[in-house]
Structure 1
Amino acid sequence: MRKTIQTTASLLIISCLAPFVSPVRAAAIYKTADDNNLNLTTSWVTNSLGVVHPSNIGATDALIFDNTMGASRALSLGDDMTVGGLRLDGTSGYHLTINSGNTLTLNGASATDIAYAGAGFVLNSAAGGTLTVNCDVIVNTAQQWVSSRALTINGNTSLGTNTLTLNAAGAGIITLAGIVTGSKAAGNNALFLSSSIAGGTVRLLNPSNSFTGNIELGGGLRTILEFNSAGSLGNTAQLRFRNTGGTGSILRYTGNTAAIVPANFQCDSSLGIRLESDSVGGSVTFSGTWNASSSSRPVALGGSGTGDNTISGSIIGSTLTKYGSGKWILAAANSYAGGTTLSGGTLGLGNNGALGSGSLNITGAATLLATTNLSGTSKIANPVTMGGNLTIDGDRDLELGGTLTSSGSNSRTLTVRNGGLTILSGHLYLAEDNTTTGRTLTLDGDGVTVISGNIHNNNFGNTVAAGLTINNAAAHVILSGVNDYTGATLVNAGTLFINGTHTASDITIHTGTFGGTGTVGNVIINGGTLSPGNSVGTLTVGNLTLTNGVQLAFELGTPGASDLVIVTNALSFTGMETNWFILSAVSGFGVGTYTLFDALSYGSSTLGSGTNFDDIAGTGLSGYLWLDPDNQDVKLTVVPEPSAGVLVGMGLFTLLALRRWRGDNP
């Protein structure tokens, strides 16, 4: 009987208390137009039009900030709080700041209450709306944070063992500026970046981040992940690219120091891997490995950062594209086989296998450089197609051993600013096979370029007047191949030496220098400098015209041995005098006769009145120019230092002796 009475009393007490106990439930509650702390029920109403306050704030409730809040506000939690999530919405574009001082724990709210399933933060307000959270945040369950505006977490974020999905859509930006901690098991995602509208950005900005687990850029359309230090990626073991739409997600470095990222890459997306650096004053190096699953995926490197941004691991992929105005260095031998596209900026090569096994295609104005000497057995063997102007820079030797083809509808410029030696040892084609109009390849810059490969119009030989032009006074170009291009060669400034063969078209030197030890066709030195030989050597020319203030640079060795120009056809000049010559004495120079030009015919060419040399090259010896009509030669006879009258007399004596000898030897 007593037990029955006690039970009845207990039931009566419970029934009396029932009106004051709220059932466990998840609900959306709305911030009122006041600045009360968020932990107070009087700060909230149960709907956006109502005045009824909730009886409590539940651990799965959605805190809604919309037009009901009346203005932009900076609010405090008032105490540690646990809720489902928080949403800033409405048409007013309010700014909401959650002050520091307490901890906010998020369990993820329902899609019914917060518009996204399992969401912790949602920012979908009108244009200009921002949500700034300065308190610490605990991610208590796996959840997503969604933003189409600017969501900034300045407090620390604790992930625990949960995965946080960051959905920055369209112009949305999610910034984690505080320290992000967490202990996700190896092989699992700590952060998952996804976007339903392409273009959103996630920023990790704290160098003391310590979370473990992977970062995955995937799910939906393109997302951009920005980081400003190696530490801001935490202890990430792997960077995964898995998005299926848009143009591919981007991992972008924005720091101003040198960062080394050891994380490995895996790509399961056909859109491939895109890495960018927009660093000012810094650079990023990715030293991790590339998973074999990436073998059929494209790789793209971009951004505006001009530091030594580097891929030091071996790249596995299908193709590689370098775009943007920045600089990237490929330090290792790579195994991608689909070719390399260089559309802008600078591409550095640190290994002769850096370009994989495909061709290098230049599609825009760009720069190529070597970070170590790459020549001889370590040359770059890949074929190169110049569909845009190319600059070769740096301070190391770079030899391009594959075929180089100038392509497209316009003439191209190859600028060499390299402090080392630049060698083009493969065949050089001045136009593509299907080109039927003239093309000119301009060789520019202040470096030394050796073209040891043969230069052609193109494979089919159907290009009209494909030629070469040199414009830079500091440029030094050496051609040592067997060349058969048919367009004109113009040296408007700079130096051109031909040590090979080019007889198929004319060479005109205006204010530059021409020389070498090769065999060429018609040459006009129009105000420029002729410098035959290499040390003491011989240049062979078809027809040679010297005019308009030409300078003639000759080295003189032992008597009878000097620089020599053999003219197999006609040599033409008027009024040649000593002031045309720049003479240098080398070992063995002395008294005797030197042949400077040996022509089939010098026709009506004449000497001027000033044909006597005094103190040749500072040796104390003098000499005189004279024409040998029997051999059609231009000669220099060197004598001990006599008076001018004696020189004239010796010249006349030489001519008389020659005439007498001819008379005695008909």
Structure 2
Amino acid sequence: MNTTLSTAKKSCTGHSGAPLAQTKPVLSTLAALAVAMASASATNLYWDTNGTTAGAGDVPTGTWGTSNFWNTDSTGGGGGAFQTSTSATDNLVFVAGGSTVTSPFTVSLNGNQTGNTLFFNYANTNSANIITIGSTVGGQTITLSGTSTSYGSSAGAGTVGNFLIDVGSVSSSNLPYVTMNANLAVSGNQQIMVSRGALTLNGVISGTANLWIWGGGAKTITGANTYSGTTDVRGSLTLGGTAGSLGTGAVNLNDNSTVLTFAQTSDYTFANNITGVGASSGVTKTGTTTLTLTGTNTSSGGTVIRGGAIKVGSINTNLGSGSIKLGSLPADSGSLIYNGSGETTAKTFQINSSASALQADGSGALIVSNGIAGASSGVKNFTLQGSSTASNSIGAITNGSATTLNLIKAGNGKWVLTGTNTYNGTTTVSAGTLLIEGDSSAATGAVTVNSGASIGGDGTIGGSLALQSGAKFVFSLTNTLTVNGASVTFGGFSVADLVGLSSATASGTYALINGSATVSLTNVSNIGISNAYDLGGGKSAYFQASGLNLVVIPEPSTTALLIGAGLFLVLRSRRNKRIA
């Protein structure tokens, strides 16, 4: 079942029956371009809602190729000649201008069908403008070449040229919603031009076509397209289904407010390069799946992650130059995953959702120099997570417009806070390591470190610090963590909970925590030399009785042996002198 739409067209009429050249102000620029490519021999055929019955009304469900629904009468009055098939010089319009459609309808395809252009009429009184072309997704094939357009099914294939789908005016109260289930296969470098109106393309586009998505109305693509040409988008376009894609060519967001939305229901990798100059244009991710972007994005628009996750190897290369918004509404929940070899980015990060995350899974450190801020009111829960143990870092974390911003550290990796943080919520270290290297004096919320997680650094904490039983503290020869909150408490802590302490540590006294906070040593073991912890290699360590100061010494038994050996040598020397 094939339908062929030819490029031989000149004087085709508009939706109301008037020549398209005379209705150019009503049509989009794209439609006018298609008209300019028309040939003089074009004939207008209309899918009449009543078949061979004169008059308007009814539901025009039928089969293209067997039903006598095609007519030259644009009014739907049944005055023209009816026919079952079309030719390569016919301009095809669904439905006749004077017809009234009372419910959604489907046009099935049978045999090889031909045509010139394809329009969906909005200048009528349709009350249920839901039109489906092709009864089975992928069951029909449209093959595009330099001379004609082919519409068909798996039973055959045809050829097509420059192809216009005009789905009506977005200002019309009778705006049709059209679903195209046919596949498109292209030979030659042709243009597939989709203009105004709401349209869903469920078929697969293959070959060397260039796809133009222009005009108002929602456009959705669900097919796993493989065409090698470029894609030009003006308006909005959603990639849905399990693998809705745009072939392999570059994607140009060619309007100030163009939005390309990824809404696939399965994890998907988008390798296309993205270009564009619109400051308000950009990429949006919805749903719960993970979208991996591997192409170069040079657009000036931003990135919005409303659900699921976007994964990139380079934030600077794979995302546009605009801001990165984690969420658009409070109910959103989105994550950005970095899995590159190390990168510093100065992009602006904003939090709009109630729950969002930045995840570092790369082999090298991710450095977010500009930090992150809340971009809307309400409570924001921001998570730093991932498996990377490199020194991933982030600049200032601030409330911005948020009422409260809470920070969570999750995952087995490491994150370092390097900025001047002013967020007013709590900080919870659930897993992995969080180092405080910047000034968090103004971040006065409580800091809690859960069992198995670690905290450390030489910065300042403005709130109280509580280490739960099993929590770890990162030891460093030169770092002292300053805590200016009310207290430092422990649920159970010992020298064994110091990460980085070993028998190789030089003997001496080390201040682990200082500041104005009151340090409670309740539930702390290894206090005093008599309770020293054996580090091995002849070294021991213990906590002093006040504050959290660590003393590393040679093992007491070793010290006693050394003293005893020294005393023996002294006594022996004196005895030898007396004998002499």
TM-score normalised by structure 2 residue count:
0.66
Taking the TM superposition and a 5 Å limit, the aligned residue runs for 1:177-196 are: 177-184=139-146, 189-195=162-168
Provide the rounded CA distance (Å) in 2 between the counterparts of 1:624 and 1:275. Answer: 62
Q: CA deviation at 1:165?
A: 2.8
Provide the rounded CA distance (Å) in 1 between the counterparts of 2:112 and 2:325. Answer: 45
Match 1:410 to one of 360, 367, 378: 378
SS in 2 for 1:112: coil
Match 2:130 to one of 144, 168, 171: 171
1:306 aligns with 2:266: yes
Provide the rounded CA distance (Å) in 2 between the counterparts of 1:401 and 1:414. Answer: 17
Q: CA deviation at 1:366?
A: 0.6
Q: CA deviation at 1:210?
A: 6.0
Note closer, same or farther for the CA distance 1:178–1:485 as it changes in structure 2 (3 Å cut): same
Give the aligned partner of residue 145 of structure 1: 94
Q: For the Cα contact (< 8 Å) 1:348–1:370, is it kept in 2?
A: yes
Residue 242 of structure 1 aligns with an amino acid whose one-letter code is W
SS in 1 for 2:130: coil
Give the aligned partner of residue 230 of structure 2: 264
1:274 aligns with 2:247: no
Taking the TM superposition and a 5 Å limit, the aligned residue runs for 1:626-641 are: 635=551, 637-639=553-555, 641=557
Note closer, same or farther for the CA distance 1:184–1:249 as it changes in structure 2 (3 Å cut): farther
Match 1:533 to one of 475, 482, 490: 475
Give the aligned partner of residue 248 of structure 2: 287
Residue 91 of structure 2 aligns with an amino acid whose one-letter code is A
SS in 2 for 1:385: strand
Give the aligned partner of residue 284 of structure 2: 322
Provide the rounded CA distance (Å) in 2 between the counterparts of 1:116 and 1:498. Answer: 86
Note closer, same or farther for the CA distance 1:572–1:110 as it changes in structure 2 (3 Å cut): closer
SS in 1 for 2:295: coil
Provide the rounded CA distance (Å) in 2 between the counterparts of 1:236 and 1:531. Answer: 59
SS in 1 for 2:133: strand
Give the aligned partner of residue 397 of structure 2: 429
Q: CA deviation at 1:323?
A: 4.0
Note closer, same or farther for the CA distance 1:184–1:613 as it changes in structure 2 (3 Å cut): same
Q: CA deviation at 1:174?
A: 1.9
Residue 111 of structure 1 aligns with an amino acid whose one-letter code is S
SS in 1 for 2:480: strand
Residue 455 of structure 1 aligns with an amino acid whose one-letter code is T
Give the aligned partner of residue 211 of structure 2: 239
Note closer, same or farther for the CA distance 1:275–1:455 as it changes in structure 2 (3 Å cut): same
Give the aligned partner of residue 52 of structure 1: none
Match 2:407 to one of 442, 466, 472: 442
Residue 340 of structure 1 aligns with an amino acid whose one-letter code is T
Give the aligned partner of residue 365 of structure 1: 333
1:218 aligns with 2:191: no
Taking the TM superposition and a 5 Å limit, the aligned residue runs for 1:100-115 are: 109-113=72-76
Q: For the Cα contact (< 8 Å) 1:159–1:183, is it kept in 2?
A: no
Note closer, same or farther for the CA distance 1:471–1:414 as it changes in structure 2 (3 Å cut): same
1:453 aligns with 2:439: no
Note closer, same or farther for the CA distance 1:112–1:538 as it changes in structure 2 (3 Å cut): closer
Note closer, same or farther for the CA distance 1:145–1:309 as it changes in structure 2 (3 Å cut): farther
Q: CA deviation at 1:627?
A: 5.7
Provide the rounded CA distance (Å) in 2 between the counterparts of 1:641 and 1:156. Answer: 97
Give the aligned partner of residue 508 of structure 1: 465
Q: CA deviation at 1:499?
A: 2.3
SS in 2 for 1:353: helix
SS in 2 for 1:419: coil
Residue 75 of structure 2 aligns with an amino acid whose one-letter code is T
Give the aligned partner of residue 592 of structure 1: none
Note closer, same or farther for the CA distance 1:476–1:63 as it changes in structure 2 (3 Å cut): closer
Note closer, same or farther for the CA distance 1:401–1:191 as it changes in structure 2 (3 Å cut): same
Q: For the Cα contact (< 8 Å) 2:143–2:184, is it kept in 1?
A: no
Note closer, same or farther for the CA distance 1:66–1:404 as it changes in structure 2 (3 Å cut): same
1:560 aligns with 2:514: no
Provide the rounded CA distance (Å) in 2 between the counterparts of 1:88 and 1:372. Answer: 65
Give the aligned partner of residue 479 of structure 1: 436
SS in 1 for 2:110: coil
Note closer, same or farther for the CA distance 1:97–1:184 as it changes in structure 2 (3 Å cut): same
1:495 aligns with 2:470: no
Give the aligned partner of residue 296 of structure 2: 333
Note closer, same or farther for the CA distance 1:624–1:195 as it changes in structure 2 (3 Å cut): closer
> CA offsets, 1:531-551, max 9 Å, x none?
2424x5542546775554333
Note closer, same or farther for the CA distance 1:150–1:243 as it changes in structure 2 (3 Å cut): same
> CA offsets, 1:270-327, max 9 Å, x none?
xx24131221xx46354323458x1534122132423224151232141214142044
Show structure 1 runs of 5+ residues with no match. 1-58, 70-86, 122-135, 458-464, 512-526, 582-605, 651-666
The answer to which structure, 1 or 2, has the higher relative contact order (CA under 8 A, 6+ apart) is: 2
Q: CA deviation at 1:418?
A: 2.4
Taking the TM superposition and a 5 Å limit, the aligned residue runs for 1:192-211 are: 192-195=165-168, 197-198=174-175, 200-206=177-183
Provide the rounded CA distance (Å) in 2 between the counterparts of 1:167 and 1:372. Answer: 50
Provide the rounded CA distance (Å) in 1 between the counterparts of 2:45 and 2:395. Answer: 72
> CA offsets, 1:77-101, max 9 Å, x none?
xxxxxxxxxx99755x696567xxx
Match 2:492 to one of 549, 560, 573: 549
Note closer, same or farther for the CA distance 1:429–1:446 as it changes in structure 2 (3 Å cut): closer
Residue 278 of structure 1 aligns with an amino acid whose one-letter code is G
Provide the rounded CA distance (Å) in 2 between the counterparts of 1:119 and 1:480. Answer: 80
> CA offsets, 1:192-232, max 9 Å, x none?
1413544613224447676973222213x3222223xxxx3
Note closer, same or farther for the CA distance 1:109–1:421 as it changes in structure 2 (3 Å cut): farther
Residue 287 of structure 1 aligns with an amino acid whose one-letter code is T
Show structure 2 runs of 5+ residues with no match. 1-42, 96-100, 123-127, 149-159, 565-580
Give the aligned partner of residue 578 of structure 2: none
> CA offsets, 1:363-416, max 9 Å, x none?
23112123533x33xx33211111112223474354433331123222322234
SS in 2 for 1:151: strand
SS in 1 for 2:270: strand
Residue 539 of structure 1 aligns with an amino acid whose one-letter code is T
Note closer, same or farther for the CA distance 1:632–1:265 as it changes in structure 2 (3 Å cut): closer
Q: CA deviation at 1:184?
A: 4.1
Residue 477 of structure 1 aligns with an amino acid whose one-letter code is L
Q: For the Cα contact (< 8 Å) 2:368–2:395, is it kept in 1?
A: no
Give the aligned partner of residue 318 of structure 2: 354
Q: For the Cα contact (< 8 Å) 2:509–2:552, is it kept in 1?
A: no
Residue 144 of structure 1 aligns with an amino acid whose one-letter code is V
Provide the rounded CA distance (Å) in 2 between the counterparts of 1:510 and 1:632. Answer: 13
Provide the rounded CA distance (Å) in 2 between the counterparts of 1:366 and 1:110. Answer: 53
Q: For the Cα contact (< 8 Å) 1:540–1:565, is it kept in 2?
A: yes
1:250 aligns with 2:219: yes
Q: For the Cα contact (< 8 Å) 1:166–1:174, is it kept in 2?
A: no
Provide the rounded CA distance (Å) in 2 between the counterparts of 1:391 and 1:568. Answer: 31
Provide the rounded CA distance (Å) in 2 between the counterparts of 1:202 and 1:453. Answer: 52
> CA offsets, 1:612-645, max 9 Å, x none?
458x2455x586868699x9976465446599xx
Provide the rounded CA distance (Å) in 2 between the counterparts of 1:421 and 1:431. Answer: 27
Provide the rounded CA distance (Å) in 1 between the counterparts of 2:346 and 2:516. Answer: 40
Q: CA deviation at 1:116?
A: 12
Q: CA deviation at 1:466?
A: 1.1
